[in-house]
Structure 1
Amino acid sequence: MYAERTSRLTGAVVWTNEPLPDPAAARPVLPDGCMDLLWDGERLLVAGPDTRPYLPEGPARRWAGVRFHPGTAPVLLGVPARELLDRRVELADLWPAARVRRLRDRMAAAADPATALEDIALDAAARAAAPEPWVHRLVRRLDEGRPVAATAAELGLGARTLHRRCLGAFGYGPKTLARVLRLRRALALARAGVPYAETAIRAGYADQPHLAREVRQLAGMPLGELLGGR
């Protein structure tokens, strides 16, 4: 069972996920432009940005996580997003081992692991510099459906410069980010009951077949199956 709430860290979400009675009913984690700090009861991990659906491996676990606003985690964690693309890595691979051991002990003793994990994220944010302003402006404009080229011009960045900066902040270029954000908009509309054809147009696709192709490529299954047969 999945649940989430708004974090005290601006733009972030705190979530928990309890294992389902039927493991076969587990749904994949879909690309969303974000990175997460994770706790599985034993380990602190970082989920890098995804370009494909991800199904957790191994036995079912209780998870807690902090999902950072797109483009902000690399500054907090001190690692370029491109190095974590489509990966889950232990936090000890990124931060000093002694520091991570102390944090693991803190998590293991916490009455509420999700809040304890949020505290770790808040502490990391207090130590780090703020993300550069272009990151939020880029996400906002692309999430509004603005073309990449027009957005780059608005930001005063050339295409190559923007692409290079996006690799560090998001793990991939601005065109992939735009596709991921468009998928996120489409799924929100479809889950709210908007007909697929209308969803396609409102989310920024050329038509419903375009939506169907993108869902298959990024989510790995047809839209109806992804939404549980709606």
Structure 2
Amino acid sequence: MYRERPSRIPHAVVWSSTVRSAESHRVLPDGCLDLLWSNGRLTVAGPDTVAHIASWRPGTPFVGLRLASGAGPRVLGLPAHELRDQRVRLDELWPAAQVRRLTERLAEASDPGGLLEAVAQGRLAAAAPADPVVERVAERLGQGSTVGEVADEVGLSPRQLHRRSLDAFGYGPKTLARILRLHRALELGRSGTAAAEAAYAAGYADQAHLSREVRSLTGVTLTTLVA
């Protein structure tokens, strides 16, 4: 069973899941970084460019903190592109003793998700302030603006926007725009909107364009994802 709640951290979600049977799960790219707690181990899931297939054993509990809009790099202390398409143990990124203490606290915590959230809040408080340009880029691309429109709006050259996006999201603005457009189409499809209408509303040239993009980013069809 999967549950989530909005975090006290802007653009973040605290989630938990317990796998009841052996299964493979398709994790879609979403422009986010996740801090994961499972089986006594802390792991970071970097931003994916295509769907990641995760194989889980029955009864495996997961707790996670999903960080979007550039918050992940500020929590972890490194650019997002260094973790692109990777799953990395946290003790490879932070001092081993620090991670060991956090692991011990999580093992005893009644609310591991809340503890992950509190740790992330502490690191954000000590980090440089959030970049309002990064938040605006994610917001406007998520609304369907083109990369050129966003660059003009935030006053960056295409090269500057690409560099800032790599650090904040793990990939350039064109890739982020593709991923966010995919999620707009999925939301429409899951709400009952026909594929042709969802394609038009999400900003695709036509239904065939939507189908190609869904297959390219996820490896399956829109019908499979909606179902």
> Normalized against structure 1, the TM-score is what?
0.94
Pairwise CA distance, 1:58: 5.6
CA offset at residue 90 of structure 1?
0.8
CA contact (8 A) 1:49 1:170 kept: yes
2:50 is aligned with 1:49: no
**Contact 2:47–2:83 (CA<8 Å) still a contact in 1?**
yes
2:151 paired residue number: 152
Q: Does 1:9 align with 2:25?
A: no
| Percentage of pairs with the same residue | 52
Matched, 1:39 2:29: no
DSSP-derived class of the 2:144 partner: coil
2:19 partner amino acid: P
Provide the alpha-carbon RMSD of the alignment. Answer: 1.3
How far, CA to CA, are the matches of 2:153 and 2:111 in structure 1? 43
Q: Deviations over 1:70-122 (max 9, x none)?
A: 32211121011111000010111111111111100000111122222222222
For residues 209 and 221 of structure 1, the distance between their equivalents in structure 2, rounded to whole angstroms, comes to: 14
Deviations 1:156-215 (A, max 9, x none): 111111111111111111000000110111111111111111111111111111111111
- Measure, in 2, the Cα distance between the counterparts of 1:57 and 1:92: 22
Are the counterparts in 2 of residues 41 and 108 from structure 1 also a CA contact under 8 Å?
Answer: no
Q: Name the counterpart of 2:101.
A: 102
Q: Distance in 2 between matches of 1:58 and 1:181?
A: 26
- Secondary structure, aligned partner of 1:20: coil
- Give me the whole-angstrom Cα distance separating, in 1, the residues matched to 2:134 and 2:32: 12
The 2-side partners of 1:127 and 1:188 are apart by 36
Structure 1: which 4+ aligned runs deviate by more than 6 Å? none
Query: How far did 1:57 drift?
Result: 3.9
Aligned to 2:212: 213
Q: Deviations over 1:33-83 (max 9, x none)?
A: 111111013111111000111122463421000111232211121011111
Structure 1: tracts of 5 or more residues without a match? none
* Greater strand proportion: 2
Contact preservation (8 Å) 2:19, 2:56: no
Structure 1 segment 106-145 matched on structure 2, within 5 A: 106-145=105-144
Report how many aligned residue pairs link the two structures: 226
What is the letter of the counterpart of residue 8 of structure 1? Answer: R
Q: d(CA) in 2 for partners of 1:111 and 1:224?
A: 39
Contact map agreement 1:35 1:70 (CA 8 A) in 2: no
Which residue does the alignment assign to 1:82? 81
Q: Distance in 2 between matches of 1:15 and 1:152?
A: 33
Opposite residue 48 of structure 1, the aligned amino acid is G
Q: Is the 8 A contact 2:142 2:180 kept in 1?
A: yes
Does the 8 Å CA contact 2:38/2:62 hold for their aligned counterparts?
yes
Equivalent residues of 2:25, 2:54 under 8 A apart: no
| Equivalent position SS for 2:26 | coil
Distance (Å, rounded) in 2 between the aligned partners of 1:202 and 1:227: 16
Cα distance in 1 between the residues matched to 2:114 and 2:219: 32
The one-letter amino acid paired with 1:40 is S
Letter in 2 for 1:18: T
Q: CA deviation at 1:20?
A: 3.0
Rounded Cα–Cα distance in structure 1 between residues aligned with 2:20 and 2:202: 31
